Amino acid sequence: MASEGELGRKWDRCVADSAVKLGAGFGLGIVFSVIFFKRKTWPIAFGSGMGLGMAYSNCQHDFQSPYLLHGKFVK
Amino acid sequence: MAARLAPVAKFLIKGGLAGAAVYVAYDQGLLGSGTQGAEALKKAQAALPPVIQEWTSYLGWELPPTPKFDFSPSDSWNKGVQSVMSALSVAPTRACEYTVEGWKYVKDLVK
């Protein structure tokens, strides 16, 4: 598996995940706006922003994953 | 008694709906890792055309077949970069050719 192929796959996953998280955050923002916040706009923006932030965090973790070491605490 | 219970019941129903929405989003893998999100998108892409087809046939509309959205952004980007670079590499040669042709055209006009 070529490393540039793996990098391309990570970018594809990142873009797909960003689209999904943005959509989910937008949708949940609409739900909360309608149910709790009297159809104001800010929950929608907040939800979309949260979705984008979660996607950014996932992408960052995915790109950094070869360099992250998972240790185990041995007593 | 009923007047006091009504707002509580309303809040509980609203909370239940919001909680159900969040749970469904979590259960479908929309709030998980990047791999889960990509899988959820693939499932949605596979499930959408039959649903559209079913609804259009139910409503009696004739729609063209839905285009496939299955493409790789990284592949498209790489192809774009390759096209741009190959165009840039032949640009000086093409510029010379077009200049010669243009000069010849102007000379023929002036004759």
pLDDT at B32: 87
Q: Do B38 and A12 touch (CB under 8 A)?
A: yes
Give residue B69's pLDDT: 64
pLDDT band with cut points at 50, 70 and 90 for residue A39: very high
Q: Of A8, A16, A28, which is closest to B37 when you measure between CB atoms?
A: A16
Contacting residues for B70 by C-beta, under 8 A, at least 6 apart: B45
Quick one: tokens of A58?
Answer: 């996932």
User: What pLDDT digit, counting tens, does each position of B50-98 carry?
Assistant: 888 888 887 777 767 666 667 788 999 999 999 999 999 999 999 999 9
Instruction: Find the residue in B nearest to A20 (Cα).
Output: B37
Question: Is B57 a domain residue?
Answer: no
Model confidence at B12: pLDDT above 90: yes
Q: What is the mean pLDDT of chain A?
A: 89
A44-A45-A51 Cα angle (round to 5):
90
pLDDT at A70: 67
Total domains in chain B come to 1
Mark A5-19 as b/e (b = at least 16 C-beta within 10 Å).
eeebebbbbbbbbbb
Percentage of residues of chain B with pLDDT beyond 70:
92
* Angstrom distance (rounded) from CA A46 to CA B5: 32
Q: DSSP for B3-65?
A: HHHHHHHHHHHHHHHHHHHHHHHHHTTTTS-HHHHHHHHHHHHHHHHHHHHHHHHHHT---PP
Q: Is residue B79 part of a domain?
A: yes
Query: What pLDDT does B47 receive?
Result: 84
Which chain B positions have a beta carbon within 8 Å of A8's beta carbon?
72, 74-75, 78
pLDDT of residue A1: 62
What residue spans define the domains of chain A?
22-62
Let me know: does A45 contact A29? Beta carbons within 8 Å: yes
User: Is the model's pLDDT at A69 over the cut of 70?
Assistant: no
Tell whether the model's pLDDT for residue A57 goes beyond 90. yes
Q: Is the ipTM of this complex over 0.95?
A: no
| Residue B88 token pair | 């840039």
What percent of chain B has pLDDT above 90?
48
Range of the domain at B89: 73-110
| pLDDT score recorded for residue B50 | 80
CA-based radius of gyration for chain B: 30
| B10 has a pLDDT exceeding 70 | yes
Burial B64-77 (b: 16+ CB within 10 A, else e): eeeeeeeeeebeee
Q: In three state form, how does the secondary structure of A1-28 look?
A: CCHHHHHHHHHHHHHHHHHHHHHHHHHH
Chain B residues touching A13 at Cβ < 8 A: 34-35, 37-38
As a whole number of angstroms, the distance between CA B20 and CA B13 comes to 10
* B84, part of any domain: yes
B98 occurs within a structural domain: yes
Is residue B51 in some structural domain? no
- 């496939």: which residue's tokens? B68
